Structure 1
Amino acid sequence: MKINKFFWFCSGVHIPTLLKSPSEYSKYFGIGATIFFTGLFAALAGAYAMYFVFSGNTFAIFTSAIFGLIWGLAIFNMDRYIVSSINKDTSPTKQFLQATPRIALAILIGIVISRPLELKIFDKEISEQLKANYLQLQRSKIDTLNVTFDHKYKIELDKLYLLRKESDSLQNRLKADRQKLNYEIFGEKTTETSGMMGYGPYAKRKEEDLDNREQHFNRLQQRIDAQERFISERKKIDGLFDERLVTGKELDSLVKLAGFADRNAALEQLKYLENGKVNPSTYWAINFIGLLFIFFECLPVFVKLMSRQGAYDLLIKDQEDVIIYQSDRDKQAEMSASDQVYEKNIQLRAQRLQNEMELNKALF
């Protein structure tokens, strides 16, 4: 019996009046239970959402529990008021119009309390999506820094590119000419060698030319090394070496520190594939969970709207009529009493005026 009275209290009924209508017990028991569990889900959702706000704080659990309790009681009280304020004495159309703002509010509440629970249900998928987001964000940051650096030091980078290009070309020519010199010395016949073995005047001139070009190549390499050191120092100053892709442990730490906004954005991303098309496996699952909570939140209002005017509603109407009648009668009685006092005052004033006139006649 105590559980019945508790859920009747949750439904917002006047329990002494409801006890006179046994046929209405189960209806308001169900309405009260729905309101209670809606408030309970709201408390859990609010506590979970607040836990992310204070995540890492010493009092995170205590703070989230207090906020969840307050939020759950607020939703419970609001639902209780919404259901109890629907007047069943009017036509169905008027009842629906009367309940329209309440239904809109219930839909809003359903969306609010369902979101944190959706985040918890898809926690693993959200964590993986957050890792991908953080990696992509880091790549974008590195790419942006590189593009900015390339634009800033375009002249120096172009110079380094030309030096390397010249070095590669010279190195290839030196390699080919060194091969031709070997052919000349060892007497291998080609279109550019005599085919006579020995270190002759031609081979000597060829080697001297190669030595000069190798010296030029070495000087060119020194210039390339100096330019590369300059570029490397510039990169260090501009912070390019400080930026790198995060590792697995670092990603796990970032995911743990992710706030409510990041997780909410990741949940929305789960609905769609990389090409922008809908991902059916998560899109409908997430939407149906939200719709379920919206329906659950609107259910007490719908139950009250769909139910017929019962014995409890008639008793409440009779009580209200009696109270209104008594109030009107008391007002009339008060008005009658005030009218009598007013008439008596008028008579006293008339009598006083008449006595004054007689006294004046006697004097004059």
Structure 2
Amino acid sequence: MERDFYKSPKPSKIMRFFWKAAGGDSYILERSTYSDQVKYMCLGGIIVATGLMAALAGGYAFYTIFEPRGSAIEADTVSWTTSLLSIIFGVFWGLMIFNLDRFIVSSTGTGDGTEAITWGELKGAIPRLLMGAIIALTISKPVEIRMFKSEIDAELHSAQMQKQQEYIASIDSLYAGRIQNEKEKISKWENEIQTKEERYVELENQLTKEMSGDAGPRGYGPEAKKIEQQMKRLDSEINIIKNKNTPLIEKSYQNIVKFEKNKQKDIDNAEVVASGLDGLLERIKLAHKIAGFWISLFITLLFLAIELTPIFFKLMLIKSPYDFLKQNTQELIIAEQGIYIQYNYHKDKNGQERDLIKHLESEKLLLEKKELLKAQEELTQYAISKYKEDMMKKIDDNPESFIKSES
């Protein structure tokens, strides 16, 4: 806009983009001072930067959650599918945060137009401040775990190794009891057979002594016959026990082999189980542990400052030509649309001042409709009266035509 006393600088495309990000009206800003243009460009720059950081933080958090699990310190192959999904989610998350920030900042007015932030202004901005604080927290935590990634990986690897050892120890303990139980069964069944066989050997030695004469007269006598009968009976018992216990022993040995295979399989899965510790929640916990309370608080406050600065900044802004031009444009649009506002017209029952708002165009239309209905009503009454006069005249001229007599 050309003026004799001041010429507004021509904005660049980048400046216009930042104006839109801050919710500024480019038509009015082009006619405002350079300081107004810079203010809204800076506001838009902060909002754009917040959206970019949110995109990076959201994408990194998504990849951390869904990346292939493994050792924390070993270089794993990059999952391109997860990376592509992370980029898509990061772009979506960044645009969503950008839009929320844009809404929060653009809906925050300039307060009372002074540099001081009064309690009334702060109270009105509390919902926007809470939304901004939540957004800042969602951005700060993924950035925090990325800042301390090396330290977190080391701590996480140590935790994974400890978890792996604990898991292997629990597997050893679980299968040791099962294997020991099968071994005890085998020992019991083998002892039954061994006891009978040892007794058979003793009887066999006794029979040999009887036949050789070492224990008395030599030859096959009554005592030798008795021992031989005991041996036959014991041999039958041994066969019965072997037929019963041998399948059970073989089954127990098969169970032991199966338990050993399952044990080794579970031990091989110990690394996979330990890799389950590599999650977003675990990394956030380790980040707090490594960084400590104060450093973690400082990072959070840093993002809170970035996120909430535009809101406080707008509350501290002194009314400038842009604000007055914007207000004037709004009043012109309102007047053009036939809307009349009388501010602080009356107080309600709570003592709060209310405005009187009249929609002149709608009131004009309603008045036209009302007068048209009134005119139509008068014309109808007049037509009815004329019709009545005409019919009365016809009756006076020929009353018999309106009366039907019964013959």
Please state which band the TM-score falls in when normalised by the shorter chain: 0.5 to 0.7
* Partners of 2:181 and 2:90 in 1: CA distance: 60
Q: Contact 2:58 / 2:94 at 8 angstroms: preserved in 1?
A: yes
How far did residue 320 of structure 1 move?
2.5
- Matched with 1:310 is 320
* Partners of 1:119 and 1:89 in 2: CA distance: 38
How far did residue 153 of structure 1 move?
6.8
Change (3 A) 1:104 1:352: same
Identity of aligned residues (%): 27
Matching residue within 152, 165, 169 for 1:143: 169
Q: Which amino acid aligns with 1:6?
A: F
Q: Which amino acid aligns with 2:284?
A: L
How far did residue 124 of structure 1 move?
0.9
Q: Contact 1:142 / 1:240 at 8 angstroms: preserved in 2?
A: no
The C-alpha deviation readout for 1:337-364, integer Å capped at 9, x for no partner, is 2233222222222222222222232233
- Matched with 1:11 is 22
Change (3 A) 1:61 1:152: closer
Q: Contact 2:175 / 2:259 at 8 angstroms: preserved in 1?
A: no
- Matched with 2:101 is 79
* Partners of 1:144 and 1:300 in 2: CA distance: 55
* Partners of 2:288 and 2:378 in 1: CA distance: 87
* Partners of 2:297 and 2:310 in 1: CA distance: 21
Matched, 1:26 2:38: yes
* Partners of 1:242 and 1:339 in 2: CA distance: 90
Change (3 A) 1:241 1:356: same
TM-score, scaled to structure 1: 0.66
Change (3 A) 1:154 1:61: closer
* Partners of 2:43 and 2:90 in 1: CA distance: 22
SS at match of 1:271: helix
Q: Contact 1:8 / 1:15 at 8 angstroms: preserved in 2?
A: yes
Q: Contact 1:139 / 1:245 at 8 angstroms: preserved in 2?
A: no
The C-alpha deviation readout for 1:75-108, integer Å capped at 9, x for no partner, is 1111111111123366954443332112111111
- Matched with 1:295 is 305
How far did residue 71 of structure 1 move?
1.6
Q: Contact 1:8 / 1:28 at 8 angstroms: preserved in 2?
A: yes
How far did residue 240 of structure 1 move?
3.9
Change (3 A) 1:26 1:336: same
Matched, 1:286 2:312: no
Q: Contact 2:57 / 2:139 at 8 angstroms: preserved in 1?
A: yes
How far did residue 19 of structure 1 move?
2.4
Change (3 A) 1:117 1:335: same
- Matched with 1:355 is 386
* Partners of 1:31 and 1:322 in 2: CA distance: 27
* Partners of 2:309 and 2:111 in 1: CA distance: 20
Matched, 1:264 2:276: no
- Matched with 1:108 is 134
Q: Contact 1:103 / 1:298 at 8 angstroms: preserved in 2?
A: yes
- Greater shift in the superposed pair: 234-243 or 2-11: 234-243
The C-alpha deviation readout for 1:32-76, integer Å capped at 9, x for no partner, is 111110011111112222333255543333332222222211111
* Partners of 2:110 and 2:91 in 1: CA distance: 32
Aligned length: 283
Higher relative contact order (CA 8 A, sep 6+): 1
What is the Cα-based RMSD across aligned positions, in Å?
Answer: 3.5
Matching residue within 39, 59, 64 for 2:81: 59
SS at match of 2:288: coil
Listed as ranges, the matches of 1:119-158 within 5 Å are 119-149=145-175
- Matched with 1:38 is 50
* Partners of 2:123 and 2:305 in 1: CA distance: 19
- Matched with 1:203 is none
Change (3 A) 1:271 1:54: closer
Change (3 A) 1:132 1:108: same
* Partners of 2:111 and 2:158 in 1: CA distance: 58
* Partners of 1:30 and 1:45 in 2: CA distance: 22
Matched, 1:237 2:260: yes
- Greater shift in the superposed pair: 37-46 or 141-150: 141-150
